[in-house]
Amino acid sequence: MIANYFRIGNAIIIWVLTFIFLPKKSFKRYLPVSLFCSCLLLIQSLLNFKFKWWKVQGGIKYLIFDDLAFIFGPFFPINLWIFHFTYGKFSIYAICNLIMDLLFAYPLSALFQKIGHFKLNKLNAAGLFLVYYSLAILNYGFQLFMEKDNC
């Protein structure tokens, strides 16, 4: 029950702050890369049905809700913010994502598992970190491609 309140509250707070404070120009500029990465996470979530990297208590319905709540809750707007503050400065982007992904993979993942948000199954914290950090680097390349394409 606590996990559900956390999911909903987290999504509402971060989206409200994003709509209030993120400039519209940045939202439009980084929307494609955020959608791109969200789609990759959705594919990863679909692959989880076969490979069972993590599980959520309550079955498939809760697993789908949990994945969507994470992807379109905190992940999507945080991706927008990171690009807003760091795009064009790859070293800062890489360090920022390194810190964020380490925090997610280790202390936050342990906390989320403790409150029943999810449980890592065939994926450990190091694997989780590598997946998300790889996605961050791929995202930056995608944004470079999008910017080059628009010139």
- Determine the Cα–Cα distance for residues 21 and 60; give it in Å rounded to an integer: 35
pLDDT of residue 145: 95
Do 71 and 12 touch, CB atoms closer than 8 A? no
- Token readout for 70 is 């994470």
**Given a cut of 70, is residue 1 above it in pLDDT?**
no
Q: What is the pTM of this model?
A: 0.88
pLDDT tens digits for range 99-113: 999 999 999 999 989
Cβ atoms 134, 37 nearer than 8 A: no
47-74 pLDDT, tens digit each: 998 999 998 888 888 888 888 888 998 8
Structure confidence at residue 151 (pLDDT)? 58
The distance from CA 123 to its chain's CA centroid, rounded to whole angstroms, is 16
pLDDT at 80 over 90: yes
Give the per-residue pLDDT at 10. Answer: 77
